[in-house]
Amino acid sequence: MSLNRELETLKQEIAELKEKLNKKEQLLHALYKKQEGICTYNNILSTDEIVRYSRQMIMPDITVTGQETLKNSKVLIVGIGGLGCPAALYLASAGIGEITIIDYDAVELSNLHRQVLHSENDIGTPKVDSAFKKLERLNGNIKIIPIIDHVNSTTINRLLKATKYDVIIDGSDNVATRYLLNDACVLNNIPLVSGSALQMEGQLTVYHYKDGPCYRCIFPIPPPPQTVTNCGDGGVLGPVTGVIGVLQALETIKILIHSPFVLSKRFLIFDGIASTFQNIKLKQRNIKCEVCGDAPTITSLIDYEQFCGSSAHDKVTDINIVKPEQEIEILCFNKLRDDTLVVDVRPELEFKMCCLPKTLNYSYTKIMDNIGDFIKFLDVNTTQLSKNVLVLCRRGNDSQKVVKIVQSHLINHNINLYNVKGGLHAFSKQVDTTFPCY
Amino acid sequence: MKITIQFGGGVHLLFGNIKLHEIDLPDREKHWTIGDLLLWMTDNLLQERPELFLQDKSVRPGILVIVNDTDWELLGCADYVIQPKDTIGFISTLHGG
């Protein structure tokens, strides 16, 4: 207990010191700003700005005119996660005049391997606040606008009505938001820099740029929800989101300075395993497209969660499909687990990462491939004394499906399956917090 | 006829976890279209859950079909006549970030 108290006191002290530091930094910042005015040798940029951006400005691709354009540009970044963080980092560094970041989510420990603007002491705080602090410290010459909010038709309409953005960056993590941003960009005539990543692969393109296609031209129908994997289930490597996020910043700059080679009508596929970039030639705008076609049927934003049949976030929605008598509570599970067969149905790689002692692993996918083999496994591993089997997984969803489906095949086997309610997440919260709640 | 089939964005999970397949389509009088190839793949390569690959006799929404680095929509979709040494890719779009 005293260790806990010590931890708390220290945390409190650090928070107070940070607050103090923050105030001092703001003061310093304000003084700096007062000190620097417009450079007498250039009408738009300050002396510091000229030095700061000189390495990019002296290139014929940017020039001083390009830098002035960047300074006068407004970019909206939707999602400040694995893609949004590196994109924002490089755009702020490059001197984009106004960057708005919007996200509703809070920083979690499992974000830090790829969401490089957030750090350990930001856990639990809004991602937007954490990113704002870092970006502001990085470049005091520009304006960062933090917005903690869900991205939906209402909030996007409000944002786009108030500000004329030059580019929108899609750094979101779900299908519904991707369609929403596409339609919003088409209806407001703003190019959309779209990036995505999963596991070791990334994808990148610019939608609705000049005569190029929009997202709906290429994907008029949303994918079936069961075919969509999120980063929490499929995993993703930090450098892979990093590559795509940084390239999103690059395409944004290219759009702003009117580069003739913007990644429109093309689709870039990055394979982090093979270290290859594949550049796919896409079609032009589809004149029959529902939103950007010649006779559009979508003329205002719709309900995108309904359209896609999935939520506008990448969190798992818990299910409830087994009868109460087929479930046991986590505390009860903890008492029984030493003397009962516990089958952990998570994927093998997750089981190897962390598991409870004396539990056996038999993955959900393997069970569904061949239920007969799983029943043989249960027959071998249950004892004469106990024919009860406790089925366990990460959150208690796959285990419910196993109980529901397999129990109906067990009529002559005298074996009873029970779902461990809430799974290992519940175990970590209620029994032992040192079990990783990943 | 020898061609290469490439999977991306997780589609390989339905095809024995292999991303690149060098295949030899049986010789026949009639030419091979991608439409024919889809059926051949379903019978000979696909290992699980066909509904996650095909829908209404074409690929399911969210999969890009690519012929030698070009979207098949620029080449006639399922009617494209496959040529020897073509590389045909099936890439699922990703949504994570």
The residues with which A363 forms a beta bridge, in sequence order, are none
Residue A178 backbone phi and psi in degrees, to 5: -65, -45
Put simply, whether B13 touches A (Cβ < 8 Å) is: no
Sheet strands side by side (includes A360-361): A327-328, A416-420, A388-392, A341-344, A360-361
**Taking the mean position of all CA atoms in its chain, how far away is CA A42?**
41
**E strand or H helix that includes residue A103:** strand A98-103
Binary contact (A218, B64; C-beta < 8 A): yes
Kindly list the residues from chain B whose CB atom is less than 8 angstroms away from the CB atom of residue A281: 69-71, 74
How is residue A25 written in tokens? 């930094």
Number of A/B CB contacts below 8 angstroms equals 100
A360 touches A340 (CB < 8 A): no
Binary contact (B96, A282; C-beta < 8 A): no
Q: What is the ipTM of this complex?
A: 0.94
* Terminal CA-CA length for chain B: 39
Put simply, whether A267 touches B (Cβ < 8 Å) is: yes
Q: A46 CB contacts (<8 Å, ≥6 apart)?
A: A36, A37, A38, A39, A141
Q: What is the DSSP string of A134-173?
A: HHHHH-TTSEEEEEE---SHHHHHHHHHH---SEEEE---
How many alpha carbons fall within 13 Å on the CB side of residue A110? Answer: 9
- Return d(Cα A258, Cα A266) in angstroms, integer: 17
Q: Which residue of A has its CA nearest to B62?
A: A223
Interface test with B, best of A269, A285, A304, A367 (most B CBs within 10 A): A269
User: pTM surpassing 0.80?
Assistant: yes
Nearest to B9 by CA among B23, B19, B21, B1: B19
Catalogue all structural domains in chain B, each as residue range(s) with its CATH number.
Answer: 2-92 (3.10.20.30)
User: In whole angstroms, how large is the CA radius of gyration of chain B?
Assistant: 13
Q: What is the pLDDT of residue A41?
A: 82
A151 touches A172 (CB < 8 A): yes
- Return d(Cα A217, Cα A207) in angstroms, integer: 9
* Terminal CA-CA length for chain A: 25
Query: Could you read off the pLDDT tens digit of each residue along chain A, which spans 438 residues?
Result: 588 889 889 989 998 998 899 899 888 877 776 666 667 788 889 989 999 999 999 999 999 999 999 999 999 999 999 999 999 999 999 999 999 999 999 999 999 999 999 999 999 999 999 999 999 999 999 999 999 999 999 999 999 999 999 999 999 999 999 999 999 999 999 999 999 999 999 999 999 999 999 999 999 999 988 888 888 888 999 999 999 999 999 999 999 999 999 999 999 999 999 999 999 999 999 999 999 999 999 999 999 999 999 888 888 888 999 999 999 999 999 999 999 999 999 999 999 999 999 999 999 999 999 999 999 999 999 987 789 999 999 999 999 999 999 999 998 888 999 999 999 999 999 999 999 999
Mean pLDDT of B66-82: 96
Put simply, whether A348 touches B (Cβ < 8 Å) is: no
Put simply, whether B82 touches A (Cβ < 8 Å) is: no
- Return d(Cα A144, Cα A91) in angstroms, integer: 11
**E strand or H helix that includes residue B70:** strand B70-71
Which member of B9, B62, B96 has the closest CB to residue A314?
Answer: B96
Q: What is the pLDDT of residue A37?
A: 64
Interface test with B, best of A280, A282, A348 (most B CBs within 10 A): A280
Binary contact (A79, B97; C-beta < 8 A): yes
Torsion of CA A45, A48, A49, A50, to 10 degrees: 80
Q: Strands A276-281 and B58-59: what pairing?
A: unpaired
Amino acid of residue A284: Q
Q: Strands A201-207 and B70-71: what pairing?
A: unpaired
Q: What is the pLDDT of residue A1?
A: 58
List residues of A with catalytic annotation. 231, 393
Amino acid of residue A414: N
Q: What is the DSSP string of A193-236?
A: EEEEEEBTEEEEEEESSTT---HHHH-SSPPPGGG---HHHH-B
Kindly list the residues from chain B whose CB atom is less than 8 angstroms away from the CB atom of residue A236: 96
Buried b (16+ CB within 10 A) or exposed e, A227-242: bbbbbbeeebbbbbbb
Q: A435 CB contacts (<8 Å, ≥6 apart)?
A: A354, A356, A424, A427, A428
Query: Residue A252: helix, strand or coil by DSSP?
Result: helix
- Return d(Cα A64, Cα A244) in angstroms, integer: 27
Banded model confidence at residue B35, pLDDT cuts 50, 70, 90: very high
Burial class from Cβ neighbours inside 10 Å (0-12, 13-18, 19+) for residue A271 reads middle
- Return d(Cα B52, Cα A243) in angstroms, integer: 28
Amino acid of residue A16: E
- Min distance B25 CA to chain A CA atoms (Å): 25
Q: What is the pLDDT of residue A176?
A: 95
How many alpha carbons fall within 13 Å on the CB side of residue B85? Answer: 0
Q: What is the pLDDT of residue A346?
A: 97
**Taking the mean position of all CA atoms in its chain, how far away is CA A215?**
19
- Return d(Cα A162, Cα A97) in angstroms, integer: 17
Which member of B48, B52, B61 has the closest CB to residue A219?
Answer: B61
> What's chain A's length in residues?
438
Binary contact (A271, B8; C-beta < 8 A): yes
User: In whole angstroms, how large is the CA radius of gyration of chain A?
Assistant: 26
Q: Which residue of A has its CA nearest to B20?
A: A274
Put simply, whether B68 touches A (Cβ < 8 Å) is: no
Judge whether A379 is annotated as a binding position: no
Put simply, whether A279 touches B (Cβ < 8 Å) is: yes
Put simply, whether B60 touches A (Cβ < 8 Å) is: yes
